Amino acid sequence: MSIVALCTVMAVLALVIALLVGVNAGRIGAGLGLLDYPDTDGGRKRHGRVTPLVGGLAVAVASVAAALIVRAMLPPPSLHLAWLAGAVSVMFLIGAIDDRFHLSPVLRLGAALAVLVLLISDVPDFSLTFLRFAGQDQVLLLGLAGPVFTLLCLLGLLNAVNLADGKNGIVAGMGLIWTLVLAAHVPEAMLPVLAAAGMALFVIGGFNLAGRLFLGDGGCYAISTLFGLLAIYAYNYDFETMRADDVAVLFAIPVFDTVRLMAVRVRRGRSPFEGDRDHLHHHLHERIGWPSGLMVYLFMVAAPNVGALAWRGTGLIWLAVSLMLYVAALTWARAAAIQIEARPAE
């Protein structure tokens, strides 16, 4: 079977899986105890009804199924697919258990760390061993610091995706953008997995925008692991055209927001893992509503990545553009809230 045919079959399989989960989200969520209840005291969770946390189930099952099927059909080098499937499966379970039983941040991050340590120890292609930026002829070898840096990147992305999942459509939309960008860099064996993930994200994103389901921590853990590992694999495989700054552009906007949020929380004497409504998406929602805010957010993710793809070797420029877009959007979105706070009480 050709790679195009295999991608098509995996996309159709993902479509069926995502539709089954989406249509039956309420029953699945109730059966698994994966339900998100809105806060009754005006807290962070302001959705209007109890919502199943099963969107990530569809993405994880579709991606894992595609990886295992392609692994069985392709030659031994596709062994990486089995490791990828295992990592995504276990990380989804960690997130789903957190959705169900509300684990402490230390416990869930510790569990995620254990999974990632095992993975990168056994599969060097999922670990960063060197850095090479645009315009740089020589590579910077990371040596013993490579595994540690890889873990920091993967755990940082996990946290960034989890924090970005505060408004409907953001993570699914970013996942679709990441799918298209990585498809230009990964080897053929990984394309059917991206086809399955992209189709599942597209369908589940529709249900998510309609308020029918959330991705949940299970979805965020699975999606961040899938795309984090595929980005590293693509970088190691296609380093002549995909440089370290291109990878940074891929995840720049949610990472910028995470770094700012954690810095602000620590500065105010709060836990960096404590929730609030200071995220970029909250400010965009207050300024222009939703899904208009979603379009702005996804534009900030997509535009620099399109630029980096169209003009190879300009990743550092587009990383700077990402930062400028982030600062400009945050400043503009927060201006309305600042004006309201500054008005004298009547």
Q: What is the pLDDT of residues 89-110, one digit of tens each?
A: 999 999 999 999 999 989 999 9
Q: pLDDT at residue 342 above 50? A: no
| Domain that includes residue 137, residue range | 3-240
Residue 318 lies in a domain: no
Contact between 129 and 142 under an 8 Å Cβ cutoff? The reply is yes
What percent of the chain clears pLDDT 70, i.e. is strictly above it? Answer: 92
At 177 the pLDDT is 98
pLDDT band for 231, please (50, 70, 90 cuts): very high
**Mean pLDDT taken over the chain:** 92
Contact between 130 and 233 under an 8 Å Cβ cutoff? The reply is no
Give 98's contacts (C-beta < 8 A, 6+ positions apart): 108, 217, 218
Q: What is the mean pLDDT of residues 161-169?
A: 95
At 6 the pLDDT is 93
At 314 the pLDDT is 95
238: which 2 tokens? Answer: 């296609």
Q: pLDDT at residue 44 above 60? A: no
Q: How far apart, in whole angstroms, are the C-alpha atoms of residue 47 and residue 22?
A: 18
From the list 75, 79, 63, 333, the residue with the least C-alpha distance to 225 is 63
Query: Reduced to 3 states, what is the DSSP secondary structure of residue 153?
Result: helix
Residue 278 lies in a domain: no
For residue 291, say if its preceding peptide bond is cis, omega within 30 degrees of 0: yes
At 332 the pLDDT is 96
Residue 327 lies in a domain: no
At 153 the pLDDT is 97
At 40 the pLDDT is 56
Q: pLDDT at residue 345 above 60? A: no
Q: pLDDT at residue 193 above 60? A: yes
Residue 274 lies in a domain: no
Residue 144 lies in a domain: yes
- The string of pLDDT tens digits covering residues 1-34 is 788 999 999 999 999 999 999 999 999 999 999 9
Q: How far apart, in whole angstroms, are the C-alpha atoms of residue 256 and residue 163?
A: 11
At 77 the pLDDT is 53
CA-to-CA separations, 277 to 6, 24, 38, 222, 283, in angstroms, rounded = 43, 30, 15, 24, 8
Q: What is the mean pLDDT of residues 112-125?
A: 94
- The string of pLDDT tens digits covering residues 134-144 is 888 888 999 99
Q: How far apart, in whole angstroms, are the C-alpha atoms of residue 300 and residue 241?
A: 22
Give me the DSSP letters along 56-101.
Answer: HHHHHHHHHHHHHHHHHHS-GGGHHHHHHHHHHHHHHHHHHHHHHH
pLDDT band for 317, please (50, 70, 90 cuts): very high
Contact between 87 and 229 under an 8 Å Cβ cutoff? The reply is yes
Higher pLDDT, 316 or 274: 316
Residue 264 lies in a domain: no
Type of residue found at 258: T
Give the range among 29-38, 134-143, 158-167, 299-308 with minimum mean pLDDT.
Answer: 134-143
At 335 the pLDDT is 86
Total tally of structural domains belonging to the chain: 1
50: which 2 tokens? Answer: 């109890």
DSSP 8-state class, residue 37: P
pLDDT band for 76, please (50, 70, 90 cuts): low
At 134 the pLDDT is 87
Q: pLDDT at residue 308 above 90? A: yes
Q: pLDDT at residue 69 above 50? A: yes
Residue 253 lies in a domain: no
- The string of pLDDT tens digits covering residues 255-286 is 999 999 999 999 988 888 787 889 999 999 99
